[in-house]
Chains A and B, each alone.
Chain A
Amino acid sequence: GQQLNQSPQSMFIQEGEDVSMNCTSSSIFNTWLWYKQDPGEGPVLLIALYKAGELTSNGRLTAQFGITRKDSFLNISASIPSDVGIYFCAGHSRSYAGNNRKLIWGLGTSLAVNP
């Protein structure tokens, strides 16, 4: 099935560092979502973006809906040990799903934080 290109695949950083990850597609998306998954648990919605150029924050997390509508970025500032987990991007594209609400998913970015 279709997948988003999410990078990097994994990151190992020091506590206190900032983190950036992104998600790209060859098609235009009208919605971008960012999720975090802790081991063995369900993904948790972090940020939802609905408008090109939109910049939205949730605490130390900031996500942007790319102007081209083909990408999105997630930044985490001043990382802490509890930021460890897998971050997934997901999006909705009418090219893929039409009027259906089905999402296309990235493969995830695994983040490890060294205290």
Chain B
Amino acid sequence: DSGVTQTPKHLITATGQRVTLRCSPRSGDLSVYWYQQSLDQGLQFLIQYYNGEERAKGNILERFSAQQFPDLHSELNLSSLELGDSALYFCASSGGRGDYEQYFGPGTRLTVT
């Protein structure tokens, strides 16, 4: 158990809809990262937050947005969903002395039909 929690575990929705994925980082970690992993693909970095502020952006679509709240949990919002958005979405957190080391949650499997 990495200490990072993600909800929901599975999500099935229709094209055009909007969903919110939630992540709680490990206790004490200030950074949260979001990744997308499509079937048999590598990890695509989407966005990073540090202590409530956006720190880095990767290949995140304009239809996607994220935020980190004062209690450090984070949400990833996906809107106008398309079939190609079906993927595993992972949240990772880091912080403290070994803050390059990212610890991953179990992921949310999103299926867009």
A42 touches B106 (CB 8 A): yes
Give a binary string over A40-64; 1 marks a CB under 8 Å from any B CB, 0 the rest: 1111110010100000000000000
Near B by CB (< 8 A), chain A positions 19-70 give 31, 33, 35, 40-45, 48, 50
Q: Is A11 an interface residue, CB under 8 A from the partner?
A: no
**B99 touches which of A44, A101, A107, A108 (Cβ 8 Å):** A101
A44 touches B42 (CB 8 A): no
Q: Could you say which interface size class chain A belongs to?
A: 20 to 34
A-B contacts at CB below 8 angstroms, number: 66
Q: Count how many chain B residues have C-beta atoms less than 8 Å from C-beta atoms of the other chain.
A: 30
Q: Is B11 an interface residue, CB under 8 A from the partner?
A: no
**A40 and B88 in contact, given A1-B59, A3-B42, A105-B43 (Cβ under 8 angstroms):** yes
**B107 touches which of A40, A92, A107 (Cβ 8 Å):** A40
B58 touches A1 (CB 8 A): yes
List, sorted by A's number, 26 A–B pairs whose CB atoms are closer than 8 Å.
Answer: A1-B44, A1-B45, A1-B58, A1-B59, A33-B102, A40-B107, A40-B109, A42-B4, A42-B104, A43-B90, A44-B104, A45-B102, A48-B98, A48-B100, A50-B100, A88-B42, A92-B100, A100-B48, A101-B31, A101-B48, A101-B99, A102-B33, A102-B56, A102-B58, A105-B45, A106-B42
Q: Which are the 7 A-B pairs with shortest beta-carbon distances?
A: A42-B104, A107-B42, A102-B56, A31-B100, A100-B56, A43-B104, A105-B43
Q: Using a CB–CB distance below 8 Å, which chain B residues touch chain A? A: 2, 4, 31, 33, 41-45, 48, 50, 55-56, 58-59, 88, 90, 92, 94, 98-107, 109
